Structure 1
Amino acid sequence: MRTDSDDARSIGLENTVFEGSNTVYLLGADGTGPLTLVDAGFDTPDIRDQLAAGMEAAGHAVADVDQILLTHYHGDHAGLAGWVQSESGAEIRIHELDAPVAAPDEAAYRDLRERQEAAFEAWGMPEPKREAVRVVLDEETDLATGSPSIEPIADGETVRAGPHELTAIHLPGHTAGHVGYHAADVGVLWSGDALLPRYTPNVGGADVRLDGALAAYLESLERIVATAPESAWPGHRDRIDDPVGRAREIIEHHRERTRRVIRVLRERGPANAWAVSHELFGELEDIHILHGPGEASAHLEHLTDRGLVERDGDGTYALASPTDDLNLEGLFPAV
């Protein structure tokens, strides 16, 4: 399947909060089945106009949309869904683990923010950095519309989208409820942020609700390899022509990052997640204030769960053994 075909169109949308523009997908543009958006983008007047223009180029109006399939709850993917629903009456589908914060349910959103604050404390994040990232998180919330009506979609559930029968594949890691949508008839996976062409999706900071975020994400990458799509259409930037190879690259990236975390603990001694993050990424600004220590914490948690690192009560990590060569066998998929 090409980037644009008779039945499927890609629509690029601005993203002024995170690096890289968003890409959403319109399936069924030729009238062969339910007109479906995969993801929706942030909700700003400019992005509404961009989406409407992209749909017009495909011969449709926003009011024509039958359903919206969301890969996950983040505002740059789900924020505009409520507006599209209000214009069209479209059904919105998202995994049940992400549905409460995509809606958003007030209690679920409050719980998310409380978990973020607890993570800031556990990571050892300085207060000025906490305040800076709160501003970014508040801005993301402001770029979502209303309280859309959402119908959860389950792992393995199939849904018609244009001419394709899509299977929802639960791919947690970046968020607890992240899903991809696989069209076996054409070998395409709409991968959201589970698989990106240039960056590695953040794990640990992007959704602090998820315990064992790195382990979950590695299993998701294994699942992508097992699914073996011919191409993947991500939520940012361009088509991935070798998604299996890209998944393997990301597994190797995390293997090397784990080695770096071990080196940090060996060279500087016991450290919290914020200190390890500083060694890995340096000074952080904007959303990276959340993502950096979150990623460090996910790797430290992965090592702790497997007995290679020990954590004390105040969030300080230390190597469990002073030996030079720590055995990483079993920490990463052999795919």
Structure 2
Amino acid sequence: MHHIQLSNAAFEGRNSVYLLGDGDAAAPTTLVDTGVATPDVEAELRAALDARGVAFADVDRVLLTHWHHDHAGLAGAVQNESGAAVFVHEADADLVAQRGSAREDLRDAQEAALHDWGLPEKEREGLLAFNDEHSDLAGEPADVTEVSDGDTVALGPFEAEVVHLPGHAAGLVAYAVEREGRREAFVGDAILPKYTPNVGGADVRVERPLARYLDSLERVQSLNLDRAWPGHRGPIFAPSERARDIAAHHEERTARVERAVTDLAPATAWEVSAELFGSLSGIHVLHGPGEAYAHLDHLVREGAVERTPDGYAPA
């Protein structure tokens, strides 16, 4: 297995792509994630594969952890040259395949969420324009093979089990394998070694985003992994501990959000976001209030906060 790191200026550090089975006649040449669809990143990926004697045309399979452009953007380009099968969870399949109105529906859902979260018109319009200007990062559509929780994908001498871990994205999955006597998984952005994955803004299609993500963190712990290979930066050598740390972080953030509501009431998700993160720009104009909303929604469901016509207030 080769760990390839690709440039990424917008998200959680350099993207990680994993090459499996290169040069092994018994195993299909497989990529886990692909990086974002920019000419520079495509050139980086081609060069990294070439250094290992692999071209796009040699790839047999692409396993996508989720639909985000920095993970799935080059899947279509790889498939166009190789005919590779591209695997993605059914919840994200339409976005990767760019089928029907999937991308337009997502944009509409984002616009509705931004209004619901109380973003001022200038910030709403700026973010939507930012997204439109960067829509080409999605790359070419791919003909996808849909997978569901519990499915397996054959990788020659071993199989990868599909583990659905929604929260950061509706269709985020890990691919768990038994390799060299260790239980490992390619986890995408389910857990990251340095940052905490965004919840709420990264995929506005997810209902009850924080609750679902906390459930996913519990599931990561239940996998009893020896090592996790995340979608950014380097390996995580204590995945269960990292999942517990992220859950504790969200418990602390929920308390901060509750205090902010008490201080600001009535408060919008945008106003709570400002208390948490200060001034935001670029894609973080989506991620910040989205994260605030995820915690506010959780507090409403727990009965600690109520939503009024003017914003959130203590229950």
TM score, norm. by length of structure 1? 0.90
Paired residue for 1:76?
Answer: 70
Bigger shift: 164-173 or 25-34? 25-34
Paired residue for 1:22?
Answer: 15
1:177-256 correspondence runs (5 A)? 177-185=171-179, 186-256=182-252
SS in 2 for 1:152: strand
Please tell me whether the aligned partners of residues 73 and 140 of structure 2 are also in contact (alpha carbons under 8 angstroms). Answer: no
Please tell me whether the aligned partners of residues 12 and 21 of structure 1 are also in contact (alpha carbons under 8 angstroms). Answer: yes
SS in 2 for 1:93: strand
SS in 2 for 1:199: coil
1:241–1:116 Cα change, 3 Å: same
Root-mean-square deviation (CA, aligned residues, Å) is 1.2
In structure 2, stretches of 5+ residues that fail to align are none
Query: What is the aligned counterpart of 1:52 among 32, 46, 54?
Result: 46
Mapped to 1, the partners of 2:13 and 2:166 lie a distance apart of: 22
Mapped to 1, the partners of 2:135 and 2:198 lie a distance apart of: 19
Residue type matched to 1:212 in 2?
R
CA shift, 1:129, in A, is 1.1
Bigger shift: 122-131 or 137-146? 137-146
Mapped to 1, the partners of 2:216 and 2:58 lie a distance apart of: 33
The number of aligned residues is 312
Please tell me whether the aligned partners of residues 189 and 230 of structure 2 are also in contact (alpha carbons under 8 angstroms). Answer: yes
CA shift, 1:138, in A, is 2.1
Q: Percent identity?
A: 53
Paired residue for 2:272?
Answer: 276
1:162–1:132 Cα change, 3 Å: farther
1:283-294 correspondence runs (5 A)? 283-294=279-290
Paired residue for 2:115?
Answer: 121
Paired residue for 1:4?
Answer: none
TM score, norm. by length of structure 2? 0.96
Please tell me whether the aligned partners of residues 82 and 144 of structure 1 are also in contact (alpha carbons under 8 angstroms). Answer: no
Mapped to 1, the partners of 2:165 and 2:272 lie a distance apart of: 27
CA shift, 1:289, in A, is 0.3
Mapped to 2, the partners of 1:290 and 1:173 lie a distance apart of: 15
Mapped to 1, the partners of 2:264 and 2:10 lie a distance apart of: 34
Please tell me whether the aligned partners of residues 74 and 140 of structure 2 are also in contact (alpha carbons under 8 angstroms). Answer: no
CA shift, 1:204, in A, is 0.3
CA shift, 1:50, in A, is 1.1
Paired residue for 2:83?
Answer: 89
Paired residue for 1:333?
Answer: none
Please tell me whether the aligned partners of residues 12 and 232 of structure 2 are also in contact (alpha carbons under 8 angstroms). Answer: no
Paired residue for 2:312?
Answer: 317
Query: What is the aligned counterpart of 2:5 among 8, 12, 15?
Result: 12
In structure 1, stretches of 5+ residues that fail to align are 1-7, 321-335
